[in-house]
Amino acid sequence: MIPIAQTVYRVDRSYSWNYSHAPKLPRMRRLPTGPGGRLFDYQLNSPLGIAAGPLLNSRWVEVYARAGFDILTYRTVRSSFAPAHPLPNIRPVENREEAAVAVRRSGVNGRPTLAISLGMPSMEPDVWRKDIHRAKERLGPGQVLVVSVLGTVPEGGDREGLIDDYAQCARWAEDAGADVVEAHLAWPDPFAGQPQAIYEDLALAAQILHRVRSRVGVPVLAKLGAFRTQRQLHETATRLAPWTHGFVLIHGFQRRVVDESGNAAFEGEGRERADIVGADTFPAASRQIGELLSWRRAGCWDRVVLGVGGVTSVDRAQHLLREGCDGVLVATAALYDPQLAVRFRQQQASAVA
C-alpha cells in the first residue's frame, strides 16, 4: 500500500496539475486471471472497478485498466468548463461526534478517511468528448467505460434547462464512446429552499433520468448519496427504478469539517461541509447497500446495484459481492492502494483452487 502522504493523486498539487500527471504504476507482465462478471450485456474480467472521481482523463483510465480494474468510471463531466476549488481540497480526517476533524494522517493500517472539497471540475466539452474516445480505445477485452455526467443550470435557466443539460451531456458521452452513462444526482439541488441533493427531489430526479434515457441508447445508472432513513431509501429506489437501469450507492456523507483548532478546514464560502469518503464510511454505506439489495430480492424492482463507499480492502469488496452487488467500485482505495485489483484477482483465484 502507498502511505496517504504518497497517494498517486498529489493532494499537495492542484487538480490541474494532477490532470496533467497521470500516475506511473508498476506494470505486471501478466495480470492474474479475473473471476469473471457481467454488467448489463457486457462480459467482464471481474466485477471490481473504480467510481467517479479518481479517473481524471484517458491517461488515468488507461493506468487503472492495466492495473486490473474492469469497470472504469470517467470522472464527472459537464456542459461547460468548471474549475476546481483552490488548495487544500483533499484532507485526511477523523470522524468525531461533532464534526470530521482534519489531521495529518487518519485511518488504521493505512486505510484513510478523507474529506473532499474539490467542487465538480470539468474540462470543456470539446476536450472531454475527444478524451473519452481515447479512453474507450485504451480499454481491453472484458472492461467497460462508464461516464458520469452532471447537469448545469444555464444562466437564467430553470428546472427544464437543468434536465435538458443532463440529457445533452449524456448524449455527448454516448457519442464519445461511453458503454454506460451515470447520472450524478448526489449534487446540491439548485432549486431547493433548503439544502438537499438532487436525488432527494424525487420528481426532479425522475425527470432527469427519463430525459437521459430518451436521449441515449446505452444503460443509464443513477448515482445516489446517503439517506436519512430506510423509508427514504426505499421510496427513492422505487420511484426512480422505472427510469434507470441501475443504482450506484453510496456517493459519500456530507459533514462539517474543521481543523484541530475548530476552524473551517477548507477556506472559502460554501466549503464548511464536505464529502466524507474512505474507510470510516463502510459500515453505514454497506448497511444502506444491504437494504437496497434486500428490497430487490423481495421483488420491489429488478435493477443493477453497484456498491460504493469505504471499500478499502479485498474482504470488503467480497462482502458486498456476497450480499448480491453486481459490481463493486472503489475510489479512495484507488488513490493509495492501486494494486487492490491484483490482490482481488489473486484471492479469488486462490478460493477457486
Q: Which tens digit of pLDDT belongs to each residue from 66-85?
A: 999 999 999 999 999 999 99
98 found inside a domain:
no
Domain that holds residue 203: 4-76+127-251+282-352
159 found inside a domain:
yes
Integer CA distances (angstroms), 313 to 32, 111, 114, in order: 17, 9, 16
Q: Is the pTM of this model over 0.85?
A: yes
93 found inside a domain:
no
At 292-346, the pLDDT tens digits run 999 999 999 999 999 999 999 999 999 999 999 999 999 999 998 999 999 999 9
In degrees and rounded to multiples of 5, residue 71 shows phi and psi of -115, 105
At 247-291, the pLDDT tens digits run 999 989 999 999 999 999 999 999 999 999 999 999 999 999 999
227 found inside a domain:
yes
Helices (H), 138-229: 159-176, 202-215
Burial of 53 (0-12, 13-18, 19+ CB in 10 A): buried
Helix (H) or strand (E) holding 341: helix 340-352
CATH of the domain at 300: 3.20.20.70
Query: How far apart are alpha carbons 319 and 322 in whole angstroms?
Result: 5
Q: Which of 332, 171, 178, 168 is nearest to 250 (CA)?
A: 332
Residues in CB range of 186: below 8 A, 6 or more apart:
197, 198, 199, 223, 224, 225, 251, 252
50 forms bridges with which residues in the sheet?
72, 330
> 4 pLDDT exceeds 50?
no
232 found inside a domain:
yes
How confident is the model at residue 28, as a pLDDT? 73
101 found inside a domain:
no
Integer CA distances (angstroms), 321 to 64, 224, 315, in order: 21, 19, 10
CB atoms inside a 10 Å sphere around CB 37: 21
9 found inside a domain:
yes
How confident is the model at residue 170, as a pLDDT? 98
The residue count of the chain comes to: 353
Structural domains counted in the chain: 1
Integer CA distances (angstroms), 119 to 49, 86, 168, in order: 23, 9, 21
How confident is the model at residue 156, as a pLDDT? 87
CB atoms inside a 10 Å sphere around CB 6: 10
At 162-211, the pLDDT tens digits run 999 999 999 999 999 999 999 999 999 999 989 999 999 999 999 999 99
How confident is the model at residue 145, as a pLDDT? 98
Query: How far apart are alpha carbons 340 and 312 in whole angstroms?
Result: 8
How confident is the model at residue 5, as a pLDDT? 46
How confident is the model at residue 216, as a pLDDT? 98
72 found inside a domain:
yes
CB-based contact 113:280 (threshold 8 Å): yes
> 108 pLDDT exceeds 80?
no
Single-letter amino acid, residue 232: Q
At 18-43, the pLDDT tens digits run 999 999 987 777 899 999 999 999 99
